[in-house]
A = this chain, B = another copy of it.
């Protein structure tokens, strides 16, 4: 007789481990923060404080949202279908100039509620007032890698440009031993950060052995600006500054040439793909099949809610798989299994968290979600992976466990007060409208 804090039983377990092991009629036992047992068929005699019956549904690692700006949930639907600069200059920038810590905390809680409800258990964030994002994630119990956005202009959070790195370093020190919150160094992009800021950011990341995260080659405009200024592609510019490495997470990477992709692969740099945002803003289509072919680890992200406009990784997986097929005019590229890996184990690898999360394996932290398949749109069931990518939506997730803690049960949030979050978010939207009027 062994003890466990939580058992999930009676589900098909997709482990997403290196063998893609699947346990039919499986069970997972969780002790403290980690998975202590896993198997199929009759359960060994384990005494558990709580047992969840998956009801014949699917059990899989919690999803990893590789790139978002969580608090931008408060801008959801504020302005769509506009040219990029009009959208930024008339809506996003004026609102962000007025932003404060409480705004970011509220918007992040809203994002966290949505993420838990749609099966995300780890997210990577870049925004302002990231201390608030860390606090909100801690309250919600959601795993995260977060970092303050750094650029060549003053910030409503840390003030003048020089203070950004100091603020980031204080975050790193403060959260160093936290079990679910990790900190990254996050210069915004090559077109908003000087070579000096980029190199200083890299130095800080290397000093503390944390990831360096930035937007790279998101738009054609960016590429031509960098070429004009430095006579280099964005990847060549990163390379010349010494930023390419296994610690680099490059978000978007829409416009890369073959030699850029090779360079990324050689240096072991990671990519996070954001297809819905890249479509909605008409940025372009990232060369994901080529990146994967060259061995680059690619994760999946939703980007912020101003350009998507939700945080549902199921919808993002569906779009990713379909977009690359029509782009390549080949129905076999970026198949469902590839996309599910991008959103679980490869997503974790992209964030450097593969030893902690992204797959269900004994000894790893317990980040687990349960999917209810007793629904018409998930019937019949020939292939669980196909259903997860092409037919399911975030709403089909019923339970979520993060770092061993149950944060959602039967779609009820256990760590957050949903009604209060919705009410406070509505108040903030009134404030935003007053800023823009």
Task: Say whether A224 faces chain B, with CB atoms less than 8 Å apart.
Answer: no
Q: What is the number of residues of chain A that contact chain B, defined by CB distance less than 8 Å?
A: 72
Bound form: Cα–Cα A428–B380 in Å: 8
Q: Is A142 on the interface with B (CB-CB < 8 A)? A: no
Does A319 sit at the interface, judged by CB under 8 A?
Answer: yes
The yes or no answer to A405 lying at the interface (CB within 8 A) is no
A68 at the interface (CB under 8 A from B): no
A325 at the B interface (CB under 8 A)? yes
Q: Is A332 an interface residue (CB 8 A)?
A: yes
Contacts of A111 in B (CB 8 A): 376
A7 interface hit (Cβ, 8 Å): no
Q: Could you tell me the distance between the alpha carbons of A318 and B113 in the complex, rounded to whole angstroms? A: 22
Inter-chain contacts of A434 with B (CB < 8 A) = none
Contact of A390 among B80, B331, B380, B395 (CB under 8 A): B80
Residue of B nearest to A311 (CB): B377
Q: Are the C-beta atoms of B335 and A282 separated by less than 8 Å? A: no
Contact of A429 among B77, B118, B380 (CB under 8 A): B380
Chain B nearest Cβ from A49, distance in angstroms: 29
Whole-angstrom distance between the Cβ of A340 and the nearest chain B Cβ? 12
Interface 0/1 of A86-104, CB less than 8 Å to B: 0100000000000000000
Contact of A80 among B278, B281, B335, B426 (CB under 8 A): B335
- A84, CB-defined interface residue at 8 Å: yes
**Contact A77/B383 with A279-B326, A315-B315, A393-B315 known, Cβ cut-off 8 Å:** yes
The yes or no answer to A237 lying at the interface (CB within 8 A) is no
Cβ of A329 to closest chain B Cβ, rounded Å: 5
Given contacts A280-B325, A393-B315, contact A81 B377 (CB under 8 A): no
- In the bound assembly, the distance between CA atoms of A78 and B315 in angstroms comes to 20
Instruction: Tell me which of B84, B332, B393, B418 contacts A331 (CB under 8 A).
Output: B84
Q: Can you tell how many copies of this chain the complex includes?
A: 2
Known: A312-B393, A315-B393, A331-B84. A279 touches B418 (CB 8 A): no
Minimum CB–CB distance from A76 to chain B (whole Å) comes to 6
Interface residue? A425 (CB, 8 A): yes
**A381: CB under 8 A from chain B?**
yes
Residues of A281-311 at the interface with B, using a CB-CB cut-off of 8 Å, are 281-285, 305, 308-311
Q: Decide: A77 near B382, CB < 8 A? Known: A315-B393, A331-B82, A376-B418.
A: yes
Taking a contact as CB atoms under 8 Å apart, the answer to whether B386 and A80 are in contact is yes
Out of B323, B325, B395, name the residue touching A395 (CB < 8 Å). B395
* Residues of B contacting A376 in the complex (Cβ-Cβ under 8 angstroms): 73, 110-111, 113-114, 117, 418, 421-422, 425
Q: Contact mask A251-285 → B, CB, 8 Å, 1/0?
A: 00000000000000000000000001011111111
Which partner residue on chain B sits nearest A322 by CB separation? B279
Other A-B pairs beyond A73-B379, A276-B318, A305-B391, 8, CB < 8 Å: A77-B383, A77-B387, A117-B376, A279-B323, A280-B390, A284-B329, A311-B377, A381-B429
What are 6 A-to-B residue pairs whose CB atoms are below 8 Å? A77-B383, A77-B386, A113-B376, A281-B331, A282-B330, A285-B326
